[in-house]
A and B are shown apart, each in its own frame.
Chain A
Amino acid sequence: MNLDEKLNHWREATETLEPSETLLASLQATIDAPTPPPPSGLITLVKVLIITAIVGAIATGYAVVRSLNIRWSGSSVPVLVATAVDAGLPSCGPEPAPAELFALPGSEVVGGSWEEMRRKQLIDFRAQLEARPLTCLAQRRPLEQLLDMHAVSDAEATRLIARLGWLCGPSALPAYRLPQAEEPGSCDNSDWCRRPGCDLSTEPCALSWADRPATTCTARRGRAIALTFACVRFLRAEAPEAQPRAFARNPWCLDPAAVAEREFLRTHNAVKASP
């Protein structure tokens, strides 16, 4: 059989391929996503400057708090970087105030360790998610806030997101590349390590699906997961089996146990202990 005959066979063998229902649903969801209002140049510039200033202030404050090893006894640090991705997501409308549904317990853990607080919050949060799927913007924020606390291991974040049944592969909204990891030596697996890239202080950065392997390390990956897979539409709880094909191939999902709890704590504690 010569080359042309082989190529012909290949063409015939692949001629009947069709996209799956899951993929088609995802493509339809992309079209159905609302178009964000086109910003004027000046408004865009002002927004970028404001967001940059806020992110810078939060990052500085957070770094100071971490260096002082302050224990959290209240609500988590708001993820203001997520505000810019809010455009296009539906508001929560007449639904009950999310704070009532997703209040992150913290006051009763005063005096406990980061680990204890994380576990309790994660258990509580998961219980609430089991009962109610994320369907709108404000409900997504608690997840991001939880992940942003570096209180969720990669395995937990992966299972949490898988449970939500997010349909997305690449996001229809701009996601954010996270600042360079501040945890030197925390990237034992080069596939997970942050590669040099965007400077968040100068521009909002895109974390596309193609950049997935280059996301940051350890706990920040939880936030990266949440932002990367931010969907305009979320799957309802009644169709949890419709996992995103692309997401199912995410190496963190295929083997969530690959990121051992111990490994996370080891690097987390190393960062806390460092000056």
Chain B
Amino acid sequence: MTRGLTQPAPASHPVDHRSVKALEKEALAKSGALYRLAARLMGNSADADDVVQEAFVKAITGLRRGAFRGDSSLSTWLYRVLTNVALDRLRQLKQQGVAEPQPGREPASSSNPDAAVALRELADAMKELPEDQRAALVLKEVQGLPTRKVASILERSEGATEQLLVRARETLRRRLES
């Protein structure tokens, strides 16, 4: 599934290869932020690696085909591609019944025992969220993006995005309090 990649530019407006190269370079420079988003969405570094790799291939392919038209910033567009790849992957894992993260370095840990426990509880609670609520919450509350940008990444209206966030927080609160 390649949601997030808009239609290629029409043949009458061929892609400027110099600018494509510049965009590719910029995309690579954002690999750290992309990786952090992937790790936060997937919950473990191994799946994050997979997601980043796949998203990057899709993004570079899209850039070369003129799929990025500049309607949003490059980082928003990259976040969108990566989020869609992550959501697909989460749904697949759920279908396969893979509930626990694969063995590997867990991305979130803390030397503070209370914080460590809190993180573990939060990670467990996050797994119960539907994928779209999880994505919205991570993008807004952890990645720190404004709601407008989150809505653009998830390709929803701001109102619908707010709803996702409200439901996600309610679910998490209920789970953490139980």
Within B1-51, which residues are at the interface with A (CB < 8 Å)?
Answer: 1, 17, 24-25, 27-28, 31-32, 35-36, 39-40, 45-46, 49-50
**Cβ-neighbour of A17 out of B35, B56, B121, B169 (below 8 A):** B35
A23 touches B102 (CB 8 A): no
Chain B residues in the interface with A (C-beta under 8 A): 1, 17, 24-25, 27-28, 31-32, 35-36, 39-40, 45-46, 49-50, 52-54, 56-57, 60-61, 64, 85, 88-89, 92, 96, 102, 107-110, 114-115, 118-119, 121-122, 137, 141-142, 144, 169, 172-173, 176
A-B pairs, 4 with minimum CB distance: A169-B53, A19-B35, A13-B108, A170-B54
A27 touches B39 (CB 8 A): no
Q: A17-B35, A24-B31 are known contacts. Are A9 and B115 too (CB-CB below 8 A)?
A: yes
State the Cβ distance, A196 to closest chain B Cβ, in Å: 15
A13 touches B36 (CB 8 A): no
Q: Is A202 an interface residue (CB 8 A)?
A: no
When chains A and B are docked, how far (Å) is the Cα of A249 from the Cα of B32?
A: 21
When chains A and B are docked, how far (Å) is the Cα of A19 from the Cα of B61?
A: 21
Q: Is A1 an interface residue (CB 8 A)?
A: yes
Q: A19-B32, A245-B49 are known contacts. Are A11 and B142 too (CB-CB below 8 A)?
A: yes
Q: List B contacts of A172 (CB < 8 A).
A: 57, 60-61
B35 touches A23 (CB 8 A): yes
0/1 interface trace, chain A 178-203, chain B, CB 8 Å (1 if under): 00000000000001000000000000
When chains A and B are docked, how far (Å) is the Cα of A70 from the Cα of B169?
A: 64
B50 touches A14 (CB 8 A): no
Q: List B contacts of A24 (CB < 8 A).
A: 31
Interface of B is mostly: helix
A31 touches B57 (CB 8 A): no
Within A222-249, which residues are at the interface with B (CB < 8 Å)?
Answer: 245-246, 249
A14 touches B39 (CB 8 A): yes
B142 touches A3 (CB 8 A): no
B110 touches A14 (CB 8 A): no
Tally A residues with Cβ within 8 Å of B: 38
0/1 interface trace, chain A 61-101, chain B, CB 8 Å (1 if under): 00000000000000000000000000000000000000000
When chains A and B are docked, how far (Å) is the Cα of A18 from the Cα of B107?
A: 10
Q: A6-B176, A11-B144, A24-B31 are known contacts. Are A209 and B50 too (CB-CB below 8 A)?
A: yes
When chains A and B are docked, how far (Å) is the Cα of A210 from the Cα of B86?
A: 10
Within A1-55, which residues are at the interface with B (CB < 8 Å)?
Answer: 1, 3-7, 9-11, 13-15, 17-20, 23-24, 26-28, 30-31, 33, 35
